Amino acid sequence: MAVNKIPRVGLVSLGCPKALVDSEQIITQLRAEGYEISPSYDDADLVVVNTCGFIDSAVQESLDAIGEALAENGKVIVTGCLGAKKDGDMIREVHPKVLAVTGAHARDEVLNHVHQHLPKPHDPFVDLVPPAGVKLTPKHYAYLKISEGCNHRCTFCIIPSMRGDLVSRPIHDVLKEAENLAKSGVKELLIISQDTSAYGVDVKYKTGFHNGRPVKTRMTELCEELGKLGIWARLHYVYPYPHVDEVIPLMAEGKIVPYLDIPFQHANQRILKLMKRPANSANVLERIKAWRAICPDLTIRSTFIVGFPGETEAEFEELLAFLDEAQLDRVGCFTYSPVDGATANDLPDHVPEDIAEDRKRRFMEKQAAISAARLQAKIGREYTVLVDEIDEEGAVARTYADAPEIDGLVYFDPAPGVKPGDFVQVRITNADEHDLWAEQL
Ligand code: SF4
Whether pLDDT at 130 is above 70: no
Q: Name the DSSP class of 254.
A: T
Instruction: For ligand 1, say whether the CB of 344 is within 6 Å of any of its atoms.
Output: no
Beta strands in 274-328 (DSSP E): 299-306
Whether pLDDT at 73 is above 70: yes
How many angstroms is it from 276 CA to the middle of ligand 1? 10
Torsion sign over Cα 156, 162, 166, 168: negative
Asked if 264 and 302 touch (Cβ cutoff 8 Å), the reply is yes
Average pLDDT, the chain: 91
Instruction: For ligand 1, say whether the CB of 27 is within 6 Å of any of its atoms.
Output: no
Instruction: For ligand 1, say whether the CB of 157 is within 6 Å of any of its atoms.
Output: yes
Question: What pLDDT does residue 152 have?
Answer: 92
Give SS3 for 354: helix
Instruction: Find the radius of gyration of the CA atoms of the chain.
Output: 23
pTM (two decimals):
0.76
Shortest-distance Cα residue to atom 1 of ligand 1: 152
Cα torsion through 368, 371, 376, 378, rounded to 10: -160
Whether pLDDT at 34 is above 90: no
Determine which of 56-60, 328-332, 394-398 has the lowest per-residue pLDDT on average: 56-60
Question: What pLDDT does residue 124 have?
Answer: 44
Is CATH 3.80.30.20 what the domain over 141-377 is classified as, yes or no? Answer: yes
Question: What pLDDT does residue 254 have?
Answer: 95
Binding-site residue set for [4Fe-4S] cluster: 16, 52, 81, 150, 154, 157
Shortest-distance Cα residue to atom 3 of ligand 1: 194
- Pairing relationship of beta strands 232-235 and 141-145 according to DSSP bridges: unpaired
How many angstroms is it from 198 CA to the middle of ligand 1? 11
Instruction: For ligand 1, say whether the CB of 154 is within 6 Å of any of its atoms.
Output: yes
- Ranked by mean pLDDT, the top range of 93-107, 131-145, 231-245 is 231-245
Shortest-distance Cα residue to atom 8 of ligand 1: 157
Domain residue ranges in the chain: 8-117, 141-377, 381-440
Determine which of 35-39, 153-157, 171-175, 271-275 has the lowest per-residue pLDDT on average: 35-39
Is CATH 3.40.50.300 what the domain over 8-117 is classified as, yes or no? Answer: no
Whether pLDDT at 1 is above 50: no
Residue-wise pLDDT for 242-295, tens only, equals: 889 999 999 999 999 999 999 999 999 999 999 999 877 778 999 999 999 999
How many angstroms is it from 186 CA to the middle of ligand 1? 29
Question: What pLDDT does residue 338 have?
Answer: 87
Instruction: For ligand 1, say whether the CB of 195 is within 6 Å of any of its atoms.
Output: yes
Mean pLDDT over 9-29 rounds to 86
DSSP string, 172-191: HHHHHHHHHHHHTT--EEEE
Whether pLDDT at 298 is above 80: yes
Determine which of 35-49, 263-277, 305-319, 417-431 has the lowest per-residue pLDDT on average: 35-49
Greater pLDDT, 96 or 278: 96
What gap in Å lies between CA 226 and CA 284, rounded to an integer?
Answer: 27
Question: What pLDDT does residue 2 have?
Answer: 37
Determine which of 108-117, 122-131, 137-146, 376-385 has the lowest per-residue pLDDT on average: 122-131
Best mutation site among 154, 241, 277 for ligand 1 pocket (most ligand atoms within 8 Å of CB): 154
How many angstroms is it from 306 CA to the middle of ligand 1? 17
Q: How many residues does the chain have?
A: 441
Question: What pLDDT does residue 33 have?
Answer: 75
Instruction: For ligand 1, say whether the CB of 194 is within 6 Å of any of its atoms.
Output: yes
Question: What pLDDT does residue 111 have?
Answer: 86
CATH top-level class of 381-440: mainly beta
